[in-house]
Structure 1
Amino acid sequence: MVRGGVYAIFGSAAKVAGSAMWLSFLAGGMVALAASYNYAKLGAGSVAMPQPLTDYAAILRHHALYQGGKTAIHYGETSLSYAALADNVARFAGLLLSLGLGSGDRCVIALPDCPDFFHAFLGALHCGIIAVPVGTQLPAGHYAAIFRDARASALVTLGGSTSAAAWSGSDATLLCVDAPDFADRLRRSNAAPATTPDATGPHFLLYTSGSTGEPKGVPHTQRDMLACARRYAGEVLGLGSTDVILSASKLFFAFGLGNSLIFPLYHGATVILHPGGSGPAELFALPQLITDRRPTLLFAVPSVYAMLGRILAGDASPLASLRLCISAGEPLPAALYHQWQETTGLEILDGIGSTEALHIYIANRPGASVPGATGRVVPGYEARLVGEDGGPPPEGQPGRLHLRGESLTTGYLNRPDLTAASLLTDGWFDTGDVFVCTGGLYRFLGRKDDLFKVGGNWVAPLAVEAVLRGHPAVLECVVTAQEVEGLFLPVAHIVAAPGQTDTSGLARELRAFVQSRLPPHLCPARFLFRADLPRTRTGKINRSELRQYRA
């Protein structure tokens, strides 16, 4: 829990709406906003977003004007209204400017999911400072590298954290939101006027999860945020102001940033912040949180759904409020989809996105989800497959996915070589992912580095894993290529289901199980049993580490 958070400054939404401070804020900026746009009524109690929209400062002013008392954020026992959020953001912007920061400077944000993250991220955008959210559990060396790469001018974090210890800037530019005097500093800060963002940006930087190597800085604009909110959240999920969102994925992760901040704020919805980690103890509390706060949309990676399924133990009543479950971050196994649907009656909408595209660009649709398939291209994006010869592969044959769309980055920070290799002509981006496409439906086969050949035949590890997961004794599994007696062959890394102790016997059983269902070149040569699978800080399985593992 973040202590002394600025979300407590104004108290209840009613007090906020009635305060002289808030009335002054209305007079100073929001009346002018209302006069400058034509607001069209959508229906009873609903007001259309003003057009054209260019930034989140305008969005917050709109919500604060028309639904200022509505809850924007639930955090523990605290609820923060849109009116309070808008004012806190403007004051945080003023605080950053008082430190000597200006437009184009970079502010790193290393905070858990909490209202202070919203204040810092949106406050930076509010005054033209570039926000750089990062994870809270990185090694000190990684923080130092990011500070250098991003040319950071300030750090917002918690006192005593690894990021604070790694900060080499002045003490004045280290803002610890849990400091005893921080709430008072923010209260006394002058609310800064919003700046109009330039068209090209960048407005914020995200660092990739590092699943394919060293993390890289990816610049984005607020225009990218608006595109994701309109296209995926609006047109695919049908997200609206009455929705309540809960994301197990964290705000520093592109998937979590979209789920918890970009989507709900654009649509005037409510978000529930879950400050805990992604371990079993923290996830065990999720069903009670869902029961108490009644979200309508749940976002998580597949491993979270698997763990929640075990926690629920057949009783889906805590999930009664949910209308949609969304998965991304890694492929959703068809077996897990069926188990979840059987337990809860809910489908899981699988999709794939990337830090470079900011959020999901291929996705299943509500009511038409296909287990084992990634889905169809999201409106606003184009996709094409490229075969080994550089041309389009025959339908149903694998190819590397090239993407073009509204939210795509323009390159990598300080990496012109990688930018040139990945950002192609005519706006296409080489994702490095391999898919097959049949009738417009895409199925993910893996990263280009995950696929390998055995006897001249391609091996897609996900296809082998899907079969292995069909065995009741397999809890989790990953297939990689390893050298076996001088040849590179498939090897299965297995986490056995509880109660499985005879691994020698299970290995023989799994070999027979796979051989009866797959061609010989796809059958693992070895079965390596593990207590768990290594994961990245964003919850993805760390396949790179498993490729290097030797029994």
Structure 2
Amino acid sequence: MGGMSGSYNAVTWLLDRNVDEGRGAKLAFTDTVSELTYGDLQRQTRRAANMLRRLGVRREERVAMIMLDTVDFPSVFLGAIRAGIVPVPLNTLLTSEQYAYVLADCRARVLFISEALLPVVKDVIGRLPDLEHVVVSGRDAHGHKKLADELARESDTFATAATHPDEPAFWLYSSGSTGMPKGVRHLHSNLAATADTYARQVLGIRENDVCLSAAKLFFAYGLGNALTFPMSVGATTVLHSDRPTPAAMFGLMNKYNPTIFYGVPTLFAAMLNDETMKDARAGNRLRICTSAGEALPESVGNAWKARFGVDILDGVGSTELLHIFLSNAPGDIKYGCSGRPVPGYKVRLVNEAGVEVPDGEVGELLVDAPSAGEGYWNQRAKSRSTFEGHWTRTGDKYIRDADGRYTFCGRSDDMFKVSGIWVSPFEVESALITHPAVLEAAVVPEADPEGLLKPKAFVVLRADARTDDLHEVLKEHVKQKIGPWKYPRWIDVVDSLPKTATGKIQRFKLRDGAS
């Protein structure tokens, strides 16, 4: 896609091409209440583009989306892109103050919001000078504009904006395990870049696939899983607007028989451990699963394969790079590692001095990606330290083995040295959860009486766990698994671990509490 000249609008490739190729009557999205064929979606996106024009939004301006995963999401998201207007999908789990910050930061002219989420923003809407309209997806607009009515007023003919392939098409805010979110500007060419690389060459997505993603559309991971990838081949997506509980996922699997299920490690573990679902089937057409968000523990991958007969492709992606750039692949799976670079992506590992490290040494991962964002909005210093020309810094520490496979060691700010040797919190956590008593674990550094850092663990136990001598048993278990100096010197049993909306453990909150 690089160096393309002339005009290119992502919607022409993602959507109109499917209709031109004869898939107009094929089901594109269903959300258990409504469904849209590719032809319906084409008409809805044209109406949405006309509606945005009527509401006075011009090319390159932003509109925000705080929308649950229903068929209205692709209609609004792709409708804006069709008009050359920039949609900004936001995490549906933020607080009022976070919404106030992000809506002001992106200067959204229109807010599209699901009815159920209105209460969280009702007090901040009046404080946003750039926001002119609120459009509600749902039955009752509560005094605002109602999306269904607004769309119904419009014509379904619209001349798609002649955007440039290097022009921002949409923004995503990176959840940031710390601090306020940062707006990543993604280009029109970036969607196809993820489909041509990971979706086509690793996942092997095909036209007859039915996709189900636990990760929502507002996440970079979910957007690829449930919108870019299926639309790139004319496949079908099942959307789920509620929380992705094990019961909900198994229910959708039995009802819709997805062929691809996209999950995250905490959900795969919960689905395997949910006693009430122990006889649940993962549908009878499931052919592959993917995992991202954080590294998939080896024990979870093996248990899933044993129970359902289907592999999980563990991979690594980021909001900045839009989707997965390191991954296991069908026929090349090693549970416990992140696999190899996705075709089309180059990676390198460097030390603190920026020098490449040899196999077997820990380094920070840098990626040369065709799908990299062009930078953060209004955050020049952070853009410069993350997007370095061709290379994007991930902030993740990895180690590469002699076979060219990469294994996650931790976030650069989560790693710590014990007796002069780097310790990966993730490695200790993975060892802990292989013990039958432990459901989840998080590890942070804690200073001992001499002021030296040692691992401290927080564990969530399984319901049936025996707790006598637990501390000693777990310490010994970790020593046997990964080496004597890495065992947790302190172990706190807790009811739950702090997590981001994506299910990533927020170790910094445990660190702050620990120190």
The residue that corresponds to 2:255 in the other structure is 292
Shift in Å, 1:394: 1.8
Look up the equivalent residue of 1:515 and give its one-letter code: K
Any conservation in 2 of the 1:241–1:267 contact (CA below 8 Å)? yes
Aligned equivalent of 1:456:
420
Scaled by the length of structure 2, the TM-score of the pair is 0.92
- Partner residue, 1:120: 76
Contact 1:137 1:162 in 2 (8 A): no
Deviates most, 396-405 or 464-473: 464-473
Decide which of 154, 178, 198 is 1:189's aligned counterpart.
154
CA distance in 2, matches of 1:404, 1:396: 21
Match of 2:364 among 384, 388, 400: 400
Contact kept in structure 2, 1:315 and 1:343, CA below 8 Å: no
Over residues 408-443 of structure 1, what are the superposed CA-to-partner deviations in whole Å (9 max), with x where a residue is unaligned?
112111011011111224x11111111111222111
Cα displacement (A) at 1:190:
2.5
Matching residue within 483, 496, 505 for 2:461:
496
Shift of 1:143: 0.8
Residue 166 of structure 1 corresponds to 124
- Residue in 2 aligned with 1:131? 87
Q: Which residue of 2 aligns with 1:269?
A: 235
Query: Which of the numbers 253, 273, 286 marks the counterpart of 2:219?
Result: 253
The residue number in structure 1 matching 2:16 is: 61
* Higher gyration radius (CA): 1
Deviation at 1:52, TM superposition (A): 10
- Count of residues in Structure 1 that have an aligned counterpart in Structure 2: 496
Measured after TM superposition, the shift of residue 548 of structure 1 is 1.6
Please give the secondary structure, in 1, of the residue aligned with 2:293.
coil
The one-letter code of the counterpart of 1:90 is R
Q: Are the counterparts in 2 of residues 206 and 218 from structure 1 also a CA contact under 8 Å?
A: yes
Within the candidate set 377, 394, 412, 1:431 is matched to 394
Partner of 2:246: 283
Aligned counterparts of 1:468 and 1:444: Cα–Cα separation in 2: 16
CA contact (8 A) 2:7 2:164 kept: no
- 2:355 counterpart (384, 391, 409): 391
**Partner SS for 1:532:** coil
Query: Do the aligned partners of 1:264 and 1:270 also contact (CA within 8 Å) in 2?
Result: yes
Q: Amino acid of the residue matched to residue 435 of structure 2?
A: H
User: Cα distance, 1:318 vs. partner?
Assistant: 3.7
Q: How many Å separate the matches in 2 of 1:59 and 1:471?
A: 45
- Does residue 308 of structure 1 match 2:271? yes
Output the CA distance in 1 between the equivalents of 2:337 and 2:162: 41
Q: Which amino acid aligns with 2:197?
A: R
TM-aligned CA distance change 1:355 to 1:87, over 3 Å: same
Query: 1:241-296 deviations in whole A, cap 9, x for unaligned?
Result: 11110000011111011111111112111000011113xxx431221211111110
Preserved CA contact (<8 Å) 1:319 1:344 = no
Contact 2:109–2:130 (CA<8 Å) still a contact in 1?
no
Contact 1:103 1:127 in 2 (8 A): yes
In structure 1, how many angstroms separate the alpha carbons of the residues matched to 2:354 and 2:499? 33
Which of the numbers 135, 143, 165 marks the counterpart of 1:175? 135
Distance in 1, matches of 2:407 and 2:256, equals 35
TM-aligned CA deviation for residue 185 of structure 1: 2.4
Residue 497 of structure 1 and its aligned partner are, at CA, apart by 1.5
Task: For 1:61, give the aligned amino acid.
Answer: D
C-alpha contact 2:14 2:228 (8 A) present in aligned 1: no
Structure 1 distance, partners of 2:151, 2:288, is 37
Deviation at residue 484 of structure 1 after TM alignment:
2.9
Task: Label 1:124 to 1:165 Cα distance change in 2 as closer, same or farther (>3 A).
Answer: farther
Q: 504-513 vs 114-123, which deviates more?
A: 504-513
The answer on whether the counterparts of 1:72 and 1:265 sit within 8 Å (CA) in structure 2 is yes
Q: Which amino acid aligns with 2:12?
A: A
Shift of 1:375: 0.7
1:412 aligned counterpart, secondary structure: coil
Distance 1:511 1:110, change over 3 A: same
Query: How far apart, in 2, do the equivalents of 1:200 and 1:63 lie?
Result: 23
State the partner residue of 1:27: none
Structure-2 residue corresponding to 1:332? 296
Q: Is the 8 A contact 2:104 2:130 kept in 1?
A: no
CA distance in 2, matches of 1:53, 1:333: 41
User: Deviations for 1:489-526, whole angstroms, at most 9, x for unmatched residues?
Assistant: 10011111112363x62112112222334433311110
Task: Tell me how far 1:453 sits from its aligned partner.
Answer: 0.8
User: What amino acid does structure 1 have at the position aligned with 2:11?
Assistant: Y
Partner of 1:342: 306
User: Which residue among 224, 231, 237 is the counterpart of 2:197?
Assistant: 231
Shift of 1:342: 1.2
Matches for 1:3-14 after TM superposition, within 5 Å: none
Match in the other structure for 1:530 = 494
Gapped runs of 5+ residues in structure 1? 1-50
Distance 1:424 1:77 in 2: 45
Once the two structures are superposed, residues 140-183 of structure 1 have per-residue CA deviations (whole angstroms, 9 ceiling, x without a partner) of 11111111211211100034331344223588511112246542
The one-letter amino acid of 2:136's match is C
C-alpha contact 1:75 1:273 (8 A) present in aligned 2: yes
Partner of 1:521: 485
Task: Give the whole-Å Cα distance in 2 for the aligned partners of 1:131 and 1:539.
Answer: 24
Per-residue CA shift, 1:331-361, capped at 9, x if unaligned?
Answer: 1000111111111111110000000100000
Partner letter of residue 508 of structure 1? E
Q: 1:62 is matched by which residue type in structure 2? A: R
State whether residues 68 and 81 of structure 1, in contact with CA within 8 Å, keep that contact through their aligned partners in structure 2: yes
1:550 offset after TM fit, Å?
A: 3.1
Cα shift readout 1:185-227 (whole Å, capped 9, x = no counterpart): 2111133321122232211110011214321110001200000
Matched-pair contact (CA < 8 Å) for 2:363–2:397 = yes
Q: In the alignment, what sits opposite 2:440?
A: 476
State the TM-score, normalized to the length of structure 1.
Answer: 0.86
Asked if 2 retains the 8 angstrom alpha-carbon contact of 1:302 and 1:331, the reply is yes
Shift in alpha-carbon separation, 1:206–1:249, aligned structure 2, 3 A:
same
Name the counterpart of 1:28: none
Confirm whether residue 95 of structure 1 aligns to residue 95 of structure 2: no
Conservation of the 8 A alpha-carbon contact between 1:316 and 1:343: no
Distance 1:151 1:332 in 2: 37
